[in-house]
Structure 1
Amino acid sequence: MDKSIVNPLVPYAYENLMREALLLRERYPELIQLGSIGKSSEGRELTVLRLGEGERHVLLVGAHHGREYISSALLMRMCEEYAGRAGLRPLWRRVSLWFVPMLNPDGVEISIYGKSALTEENRDFVCILGDYATWKANARGVDLNRNYPCLFEEKRSTVLVPASEMYKGERPASECEVQALMAFTRQIPFCFAATFHAKGEEIFYGDSNTPETTDISFEIAKTLQSECGYALAPISQDPGIFAAGFENWFRQEYKRPCLLLELAPFDGYIPHNMKNFDRLVWQKMRETGKILAEWVDNK
């Protein structure tokens, strides 16, 4: 049996992702395609992996936030696991899983390596919680999941300047990472999308701005809940809280379901010790991508 390529037991930095993505493509050239949807503000590739060749498409996005690189490790581990299961080969002829494991590689680098990962002109940005390990924003001090053009003006925040978190930016879709993901969703007819975040063990499936997607999103969320046991969040009602996130924008733009999954137990804002990856995340979320692909395949 081949040795595993993806190592999710260490802080999952950009270099880990790039190295392991290349190795996955080399091991499974008939199943995995590797590309980029664009570049971050500091020029890092926004890597995308396509598993399968099917014409039904599912999008999975990790690490909108720098400190949430556990989601990147999860998506990379999923990709490897599913590629290696011979019994899933027929599914990948009908469905394609697209992984964008690390939308915010600059923020991940800041969270892992600290202030030294910030450029000279950006080192004066306020680190709100005082520890750079808690950094959420991109390198320009914008929280990417508050920057989408969905009720942007209604989004409330007490942070009005670039910082480690909470700042939504000067205008909607001001950030190149957000622009890249939006453009990518316009190229591929995704039936379904999900974003993966770090803490809370909760599934967000609907908001008051897009009631037309609620029933189908609830159906998918319930299917996942039966596997992982996560709580279902109530439908988000206040745009001051929920607006300008990717999932809200995707549902508004395409009238298709999109979930936000908070992964591990909440214990504060410092990232979890990755040595506990299996217990915290993998044991519950291992089948998530497969379940979503099967759901789409059966519709």
Structure 2
Amino acid sequence: MKRWIAFSIVISLLFLEGCTVYKITQKKAYKNEIVHAELNYDYQQLKEDLFKLQESYPGKLQVDTIGTSIEGRELYVARMGTGPKKLVVIGGVHAREWMTTYLLMSLIELYLKHDQEGKKLKGYPVRQLLETVSVSFIPMVNPDGVDLVLNGIGDRDRKLLIRMNEGEENFSRWKANIAGVDLNRQFPADWEATDSKEAPSFENYKGMRPLDQPESEAIARFTLGEQPEMTIAYHLSGSVIFWYYNQKDEHYKRDLKIGKKVGRITGYKLIEEEDSDDIAAGYKDWFVKVFERSGYTIEIGEQRYDQIDVDAIDRFIGENQAVIPYLMKVISKAKK
């Protein structure tokens, strides 16, 4: 009997210990005071959070617009830092990848907090880096598409959209902008030779000509005006990093070295050059080809877009929080 009681006590303690560990692992790792989503992260929440952040961190964040979407939604840019060197970070390019917008907004708040408090983030002095490098975040390049995915057809042309969606009434897979153009096949880097569907579609149609969509044109115009030292485009999914677009010699060595470090920071796989497209018309491809500077596409999450929900944000923040400070450090040390 005594042995049974002792055994029962041990089992109970182990159970309680297991519950304690479970609660610890379930605890939120990053407590954003402003940026927080319950079910998804749409354009309206983006807009509200941007202006709340600007108000909460006076002088630390400047919110502007670089243009409007087809349906008239603002393409917001959030600027941090006072440094003369520049980094541009974009997300929400593909409609179904709205999680990248939520990640960028979460990182903006994280950096603002460390800047204001003068704290280091994973060993990186955020405030000092922002005195050397200015960062421009464009968290949602495709607000119309995101709205379709998250909020449905609304008063849009139902028949047209279902036709572009190949008969499907579920728009969760929609990747293009509202006109059925893939905004990451729009840039003038081998555009003519880039694969494409023949007509507007929920995915993989490159348009009639490069930059013929207001969203892609605005991004290109903004980038040309900024002349950034580096760009990052966040996408989903695969937990991989694309860096190569026909670079050679010193540019190849430079971009590979940086890419390997980003891979170590995130735990994501660096895509080998032989596995990269030689012909493409994506934002990163265009930037690398035209500017001859470092550009990266970071794909978060191993799972598909329809298998990832907002609860994954802590993990994505943990994997990516040091990427931008690291790249700022690289930029700050680079010679013009």
Tell me if structure 1 keeps the 8 A contact 2:97–2:305: no
- Deviation at 1:11? 0.9
Distance 1:116 1:145 in 2: 25
Q: Per the alignment, do residues 167 and 190 of structure 1 end up closer, same or farther by CA in structure 2, a change over 3 Å counting? A: same
Alpha-carbon distance in structure 1 between the residues aligned to 2:234 and 2:185: 15
* 1:56-135 pair list within 5 angstroms: 56-85=85-114, 86-87=118-119, 88-116=126-154, 118-119=156-157, 122-128=160-166, 130=168, 131-135=170-174
Shift of 1:121: 7.4
Letter in 2 for 1:152: W
| Structure number with larger C-alpha Rg | 2
**Structure 2 counterpart of 1:290, one-letter code:** P
- Percent sequence identity over aligned pairs: 30
Aligned counterpart in structure 2 of residue 276 of structure 1, from 304, 312, 323: 312
- In structure 2, relative to structure 1, the CA distance for the partners of 1:64 and 1:75 (3 Å cut) is same
Structure 1 counterpart of 2:327, from 285, 292, 297: 292
Offset at residue 76 of structure 1 (A):
0.8
Matched residues in 1 for 2:311 and 2:166: separation? 27
TM-score normalized by structure 1?
A: 0.92
Aligned residues of 1:146 and 1:166 also touching (Cα < 8 A): yes
Q: Residues 75 and 242 from structure 1, CA distance in 2 versus in 1: closer, same or farther, beyond 3 angstroms?
A: farther
In the TM superposition, what are the counterparts of 1:1-299 in structure 2 within 5 Å?
4-85=33-114, 86-87=118-119, 88-116=126-154, 118-119=156-157, 122-128=160-166, 130=168, 131-157=170-196, 159-208=197-246, 210-211=247-248, 213-235=251-273, 242-266=279-303, 268-270=304-306, 272-279=308-315, 281-299=316-334
Coordinate RMSD, CA, aligned: 2.0
What secondary structure, in the 3-state scheme, does the structure 1 residue paired with 2:87 have?
strand
Measure the CA separation in 2 of the matches of 1:284 and 1:117: 39
Name the SS for the 2:154 alignment partner: helix
Distance change in 2, residues 1:3/1:138 (3 Å)? closer
Q: What is the count of residue pairs matched by the alignment?
A: 293
Distance across 1 between alignment mates of 2:150 and 2:46: 14
State whether residues 85 and 332 of structure 2, in contact with CA within 8 Å, keep that contact through their aligned partners in structure 1: yes
